[in-house]
Chains A and B, each alone.
Chain A
Amino acid sequence: MLIKRREFLQVGSLATASFMVPKFLKAFETGKAVPPGNKVVVILQLSGGNDGLNTVIPVRNDIYYRSRPKLGIEKTKALSLTDEVGLHPELTAFADAFHNGDLGILNSVGYPNPDRSHFRSMDIWQTASASNEYITSGWIGRYLDAQCNGCGKPTQALEIDDILSLALKGNEANGLAFKDPRRLFGTSNEKFFKDISSQHSDHHEEQPVDYLYKTMAETLSSADYIFKQSKAHPSTAQYPNTNLAKDLQTIASLIYSDINTKVYYVSLGSFDTHINQEQQQQRLFKEMNDAVGAFIKDLKANNRFNDVLFFTFSEFGRRVSQNASGGTDHGTANSMFLIGGGLKEKGIINALPDLNDLDEGDLKYKVDFKNVYATVLNKWLSAEDEKILGKKFDQLKFI
């Protein structure tokens, strides 16, 4: 019998071919590609300093409305979570997640002696350093250092971007960044790179250039690996046609494959709303909301929602008072969204920021973000948080 390849592939996914499919792949037909229990973290970085007070809104706080006569979001417009708390009107999927018990909100997350420069504060969040300390490796990178000793492929932490963030750079191991699994390093010279890579042997003693060859070999093999994995069980759900949505769909596809990735990292921005905050935040939140909403639905349909911990962060929040340009300036502490089927604490996890107790017009932090990291590392990724963060930080109870 001669079956043309294309036809075979078409029927292949139907029951006709089920007798040819190995048992372990059959699991996929019941919605389980990789058996549950393989926990992953998905991090969404809101770059530029998202305005937390117009995200999680204290709808009964007079100080909030007095400080923001123009920018304050009215109680009737906000999506009501509780009597006291509303969400930005665009965040419908987050509100749904809240009511379904899939969302936790951590308020006033920050760090001592906050820095108001984007770059510096982002470094502090990404390296998990103190504000007067300069570290050249990221917290996820150091997770890789600790976990990934000797693993051949740097795919344990992936960033959906052209450039790798400091967060994913370790002292020994690095994560890997890619924008599109089909076009990892879309270059006409790719074959040349493969050829020189294959000629390099690592028999001789370790020279500095060997590190480059090692990185190149890992990169090329990971590129193939990621591409294959992304095709193994691609997400077929409906996603909006935005960058973030595409990125999250790529992540979903990889989650359904048996790739070894534990941490996914993706960014959205710019939330640096000094001027015309209303339109800009609204536009970005629409992209975030629709993408995350589709992602949650997709994960649930594939029975993997319990294995995913999704969280957002931003390098800082913004000042309590609006400025004169229809925007807000750089502030300090901020809220974080936590989403997943494995949350032990849901809803509004801790008190809203106290607007009566400000530090020169800025929120005081109540939760150090390093406590969040320690919790995620230890409880979700079963890693040695103390070793990775360089210090013991108390764990929170949300997972």
Chain B
Amino acid sequence: MVPNQLKNQHLMWRAGFGPAADQLEQLQKITPDQLFKALQKASSKKPEYLDATDDYLKGLVRGIQEEGMRKKELDKDEKKNIQQQQRQAIKSLNLLWLENMVDSDQQLREKMAFFWHGHFASRNLNVFFQQQLLDVIRQNALGSFRDLLHEVSKSAAMLNFLNANQNRKDHPNENFAREVMELFTMGRGNYSENDIKEAARAFTGWGANIKGEFVFRKFTHDDGNKTVLGKTGNFDGDNVLDILLEQKQTSSYITQKIYRFFVNDNVDKQKVQWLADRFYKSDYDISKLMEDIFTSDWFYDEKNIGVRIKSPIELMAGIRRILPMKLENEDAQLLVQRVLGQVLFYPPNVAGWPGGKNWIDSSTLMMRMRLPQMFNDTDEFNVKPKADDDQMMGRTDDTKPNVFKGNKTMGKVGKPINAEISWNNYLKSFNSVPREQILLALNNSLLQIKPAYGSAVIDHYADAQNRESYLKTATIQIMSTPEYQMC
């Protein structure tokens, strides 16, 4: 029998970014059904547009857009300046969204958007295009997959990333058509090479202008007949997307991916089939699919709890939710993302982050387990991320970790994360716990599986001078374990 507290935490980790400090007491009292209704309600509001660009960059870019037609080439310095501003703004957007994952009560929406961010993976150095795509994803995260697919496919970020602008009548570029089928809808092995060729013809003429608006260029569109997945007609891109959505395979593929992300990497085929059938019948209502998952008994089965390796973003956001903190040096979070292998807006490729065991190697695991100590300023950041030449564009790395070299005797100066943890809410929730049960209570709140280590080892490394210091130090040690990597 799984206790409600564990079930609720399970729900918070999967349908959000983990339990928040001020939620801990409540999670012991309510039922998972009540909690899910509350999450759903909180996420029903329309999300705000996340804008990380400042007036300066907006002005620069508007200038180019207006002059765009007249002036063909920007001079070198202008170009360099804009690129640098863009890069900086993408970092700000990263931190802004991460902040939302930590603080927003729209946990379900942000988590869903995080899933789609990996599903519709796109790299783009234009922050305005990135913002637009993120907005499409956040607006439609819990809406209809049909709308989401159409809108993403018409977004400047995706069209550019997948070379749609190069897809012209007589010179088709199949990149977009291939990825739409392979990664966004049906999955490999469910269509032929010829389907891709024909679909690419239907997508000819799709593109985006310099402002990031979708444009249909009639003269580069091939308006002959195409045959895609057995259907023939003078299709355009929208028609092809609808043909893909007509395939039950699309529902199965998406549902399975969602199941593996939200429930268990080990797929229960029957459950997925049941979910996929209902998803298809609802015409791809994502909200209903998620409700089907999060309100079913099997979601709370022991075998589905604590079996997922947190992604780096989930790990970081999770730490910050349970230990709310002020960060003096927010950029350090970008370094952590790079070191752990997941930088928002920089997926490794169009297939997104592979996840699971793939997150783990010697370096990343040790870094993950050191992270709580780093947030707690008891460990220093002495790890250097690899350079990303796509981001640097030939410049030297401006986030050199050398900046962060320091040691404890130097005080706060040079510490990377400079976090000030607000322990109050967290500590309060353990007020009524008797001393001898504190460790058990901490384990129960912080971990989704029973720890393999005994209480003695935590006690050995915790500071038992007084109740508060014990709670704090034991918490940090528990978070520095392999068990804490699981959710």
Contact = CB atoms under 8 A, between A and B. Distances in A.
Interface stretch (A206-214, A345-353, A374-382): A206-214
A327 B366 contact: no
Contacts of A225: none
Given A196-B453, A209-B482, A272-B389, A219 B394 contact: no
A216 B483 CA distance: 12
Contacts of B350: 134
Nearest to B174: A132
B263 to A, nearest CB: 13
A162 B481 contact: no
A162 B383 contact: yes
Nearest to B451: A196
A195 B295 CA distance: 40
A118 B309 contact: no
Contacts of A222: 362
A216 B369 CA distance: 10
Nearest to B358: A136
Interface string A166-193: 0001000011110100000111110011
B392 A270 contact: yes
A161 to B, nearest CB: 7
B361 A212 contact: no
A199 B362 CA distance: 19
B178 A134 contact: no
Given A47-B387, A136-B354, A192 B361 contact: no
B306 A275 contact: no
A278 interface: no
A162 B76 contact: no
A104 interface: no
A195 B379 contact: no
B361 A177 contact: yes
B424 interface: no
Nearest to A202: B452
Interface residues of A, number: 56
Contacts of A165: 386
Nearest to B354: A136
A150 to B, nearest CB: 18
B356 to A, nearest CB: 8
A48 B387 contact: yes
B339 interface: yes
Given A200-B452, A207-B307, A117 B390 contact: yes
A115 to B, nearest CB: 10
Interface in B462-487: 477, 480-483, 485-486
A120 to B, nearest CB: 6
B360 A212 contact: yes
A49 interface: yes
B358 A189 contact: no
B72 interface: no
A162 B384 contact: yes
Contacts of B339: 162-163
Contacts of B364: 163-164
Interface in B60-98: 76
Contacts of A119: 123, 346, 348-349, 388-390
A113 to B, nearest CB: 10
A48 B349 contact: no
Contacts of B480: 189, 192-193
Given A275-B394, A327-B394, A164 B361 contact: yes
A165 to B, nearest CB: 7
A217 B122 CA distance: 36
A124 to B, nearest CB: 10
B385 A163 contact: yes
B270 interface: no
The 10 A-B pairs at the shortest CB distance, nearest first, are namely A212-B482, A118-B389, A274-B394, A219-B362, A136-B354, A134-B351, A272-B394, A174-B361, A196-B453, A162-B383
15 contacts: A119-B346, A163-B383, A174-B362, A185-B370, A187-B366, A196-B453, A196-B457, A207-B449, A208-B265, A208-B308, A211-B357, A212-B309, A215-B362, A215-B365, A272-B392
